[in-house]
Structure 1
């Protein structure tokens, strides 16, 4: 995400690196390039200009010209200002009320229905809530069917009323049903349109007035850039919503919506969608996003995602296997599955400091492990549990069964052997201390 913006900001800061002495002139030149990068990312001209003017004032105020590392200080000032521009502090979701009512709003095609499911899944798995999804798009039967499919996928009930074309009635009946059945969160998916129109605004305003929801969220496709910001303003004028959800942030987005929506509507971004899977939802942390935009990575989020897939009982079993030299390809396959659950590979690489820059021309596919899995699945149970028995004859059969070259099988065997040795070393005192430290990072925010 934000690859183009990150690259252009990096080039802007190179202006400073190319000079032995930092002057007010080349700081101004750098900030001019920063402003250009923001404009290319579809940031409003007025906001981009105010942004660079603020950074310049702070740079001069902190005497950036006479510091030992002026380039680093300027990067920090830009990071801090980006964080403020995107909202400053992380915004929580209001889960008061019995049940909590969350009203989803947005244009057709913004990803509203899919994200309603993602939010329900997030609240169910991360917050131990019992959510009910409500289909209030009475104009598109396909939208109601889509919500039922999503509900089945995540194991969440969907409330809908066939033949009822009154969304206010459906929503009120759903809340009553939720109280009777013990649901503590009601997520109402409303109708979207292809453009903002008076009929649509009146309808959703009526639903909002009748429900008086704890949270009204505006869902916006981040790939629509500045248009998304204008749409958000139109919705906010009528609904006075509580927060923004940015979808499709994993796509080829320029970033204008994420960077400017807070300053235009003065409402925080609460969640972002980062992929197609139901688990691809993240709480929005402005400071972490600013660090990622500037190529600093996001180690805390990476560790948090790893911790979500971390099973202490399984880890103990794995440790015993490693200690006894019994770590096999079935265990390796299990680790791959856990990594895949953490999110799409490009997103994960972006969380490693410097990795996005180092791998900017490398295409990272979501099915990066596909050929490795094919090779392992081509092995017999005995071969997977005791890799040492795999000789050349077996390798030939495995390669043929997986539809891969024998060189790839050899490469996997070599990598597996190196990883096994490294994991064995991690069992020593130093390795155990490292694992403890990683565990301690679980609570970092």
Structure 2
């Protein structure tokens, strides 16, 4: 019994997957005084303190978090670690952003030392913002992914990542041949996929930087390694869509380019999806593909507003993505606050339960990880975040005026930031503490 840890506090999670947002209230679980038992990184049980307390023994390690709210670890469904150092750069939309900021920043990652330093900084930023799992873009350089996976192994984090595959319409120093891309990607898959908690994602940046020869390579690797992921961008910007149509006139639309090469399906995650036509929505649904909703970058680059209602109507799994560096924060609470505003602009009321669903269990479903992550059900991996709902004087005032738990959680989502992350735990081990951060 000495291997069992006990965590006492207030807990919130979504206990089951849903097919309609109206079902989320029934899935939501709040235990005001609960006890979470963990054994060897896995959840044994979550029960009210009054029921579970008799099972405690003197040998158990016990942590108590009065006044805090403990939630499953946040899952970031779309983020670029090489863009960390250009976050908050001024004044461009998507295609200009790539040329003026992204490509110059990514050119530095042929240096293994730079990649290692930035990978460590990036993952520590995730942890201090409560993110325990992420789907991550590297650069075209294999060294960028080696550095990221090595740093994630040290922290025991569950991440999905891949090197960018790109052979046209980018600076020459960031281009590769299809043959080189295939060779390096295959080596990375063999080196890292399913090593510890790591998974590999085939990562063609987007259709405009992919020749038909490169897309054929991605297609072949997808068939050869059917359990790897695929991540890319889709219909983020109006000018981008027009560019794709000019580059691939033989295809019916943007998504048809990917679908033609067999790149849709389970474990395929398409970021943005702001300007889809009905046929594209239908293809995503029928192929069981997933979407990463990235509100802060969509607003920052002026790309458009994601239609959450349509994703529910089409039964398409959605995860929240910060999309750093066009996204303006690593913090999922702040990202959810922007998602709420995106909904408001379209007459869609995003409930706090739905918001947290897209950052926990719903995101796990979008990444085909709902069997191991996303809530506090027995057998799941014990990744969780201890939130401080009164981290600032304003939050203290607002919490006092909240009439029920849903209002308290909503106020935390709207007003919260990295100061609200009290601790982050990875597989039952403390990985970040705000007290340590501030000395």
TM-score, scaled relative to structure 1:
0.32
More helix by share: 1
TM-score, scaled relative to structure 2:
0.32
Determine which structure has greater relative contact order: mean sequence separation of CA pairs < 8 Å that are 6+ residues apart, divided by chain length: 2
More strand by share: 2
Structure showing greater radius of gyration is 1
